[in-house]
Amino acid sequence: MQKLLYTYLLLFISLFTLAQKSLEDTVAKAALKVDMHPNFKRELSLEAKTENKGEINIKGQKVSYKVITGTMPVWDDQGKAIAGLFYVYYERTDVSNKTERPLVISFNGGPGTASVWMHLGYTGPRKLKIDDEGYPIQPYGFDENPQSILDVADIVYIDPVNTGFSRILDKSVPTSKFFGVNADIKYLAEWINAFVARQKRWASPKFLIGESYGTARVAGLSLELQNKHWMYLNGVILVSPTDLGIERGGNMSAALRVPYMAATAWYHKKLPVDLQSKDLTSYLPEVEEFTLTELLPAIAQGGGLNKEKRALMAKKLARYTGLSEIAVMNQNLEIPLDFFWKELLRNQGKTVGRLDSRYIGIDKKDAGDKPDYNSELTSWEHSFTPAINMYLRDELGYKTDLPYYIFGPTFPWDRTNNHTGDDLRQAMMQNPYLHVLVQSGYYDGACDYFNAKYNMWQMDPAGKIQDRMFWEGYRSGHMMYLRKEDLKTSNDHLRTFIKKSIPKHGTPAKF
């Protein structure tokens, strides 16, 4: 009898164990079907948005604002949503008259990079944590930006397709619909039209600001918005501009980059004593004059330049760039940028940065013709990536499992038919209200300051609109605003430009 009871007990325990395991398996399978984080998706949610309120002290003035994060569609010609663009929109809430309140529409470049750089580095009400010269510090994060232009203008930061949280929705649409100089301009103009209408900002003075490749984008948008959407702008701001499609021959390119090299050599104290003792902005005009009146004609002569003149030119070029005469002669007076970044501090075992030559790198070998990596870009990614993710996801509450693309997949990019500089010229000549501000860092080797000046000269060769074009230089690089002193100065220049570009009441748009 006891043996029989023992057998029944073992059978009961076995059946209970099997039932418990079956129940656990059922619960586990059900859990797989249930989204444990229903607000998080690894896909783009069209029309999703968050809204928060904030307050900041700018120039001693309390500024209240609302900030909206969201996505809005890009439509095809039949009205079907084919992509979604992520944006962050700041609107001051203690100003009642929106018709006179400027709207700044902000893009970064790449192509293929998000709007994070100017958003958290320059004009927005939050600024990433960095030291006074722009280097990363830990713990990562962000603070208030007391230099933000939100006191004088509302701002929207836009991430083009496949940057930030923006994505293509219809995979059957060819990427050429988005990835190209003119395709990019076309779909973004349509999106801006819809955004302005939704936010009821048609009456507002409107400004475009772009950085790096974003300058080609906003230059092209100025004419596209004007001619295809009848949206006339008050200002276009070009931060560290590209060549804007303005042709430069090999000789011209080689000569125009020398003033940048001279500035970098000055910064790293590689110049002769008489030049090094001068202030940067006192020294550079001498180099600019040499570049246009002596170097350019010499390079143009090529093999026809006699031995004595070639030696004299190499001596002068070495004197201004901090390189040896032998190094300059070996390059036939045309110093490649990669070589310069590697050569300038080679005897110290260091390289200088491309986008900001104040930054130092170290390579595996001191030999070679170019650095192993861009020391400045690595530094910037170091500090911007944690800050933007913390800000959007944690502080503003935008919920998604999509990765935020600091740099996204946007290649191949069609660079043909780039006439964006001439587009901007046409827009200015058709619109008397339209003004242009160019901002350049002296130590930017990718989009250098002297090429930016050259753009302005060639956009308006007759000098008819120079009175509406302005240039400012800063003692930093591509992202001049990362240096604390230049953050203040550059934002003040934006404020002045915005105010100057808005006509007095009743002023007619005529020449």
121 and 166 in a common domain: yes
Q: Is residue 20 part of a domain?
A: no
390 and 449 in a common domain: yes
240 and 95 in a common domain: yes
446 and 332 in a common domain: no
Residues 445 and 352: their CA atoms lie apart, in Å, by 10
Q: Is residue 40 part of a domain?
A: no
262 and 140 in a common domain: no
434 and 365 in a common domain: no
Determine how β-strand 167-168 pairs with β-strand 126-128: unpaired
Burial of 181 (0-12, 13-18, 19+ CB in 10 A): buried
- Beta-strand runs (E) in 21-60: 49-58
Q: Is residue 10 part of a domain?
A: no
pLDDT in 10s for each residue of the chain, 511 residues: 555 555 544 444 454 454 454 544 543 444 444 444 445 567 788 888 999 999 999 999 999 999 999 999 999 999 999 999 999 999 999 998 899 999 999 999 999 999 999 999 999 999 999 999 999 999 999 999 999 999 999 999 999 999 999 999 999 999 999 999 999 999 999 999 999 999 999 999 999 999 999 999 999 999 999 999 999 999 999 999 999 999 998 899 999 999 999 999 999 999 999 999 999 999 999 999 999 999 999 999 999 999 999 999 999 999 999 999 999 999 999 999 999 999 999 999 999 999 999 999 999 999 999 999 999 999 999 899 999 999 999 999 999 999 999 999 999 999 999 999 999 999 999 999 999 999 999 999 999 999 999 999 999 999 999 999 999 999 999 999 999 999 999 999 999 999 999 999 999 999 9
Task: Evaluate if pTM is beyond 0.75.
Answer: yes
Residues 407 and 160: their CA atoms lie apart, in Å, by 11
DSSP state of 503: P
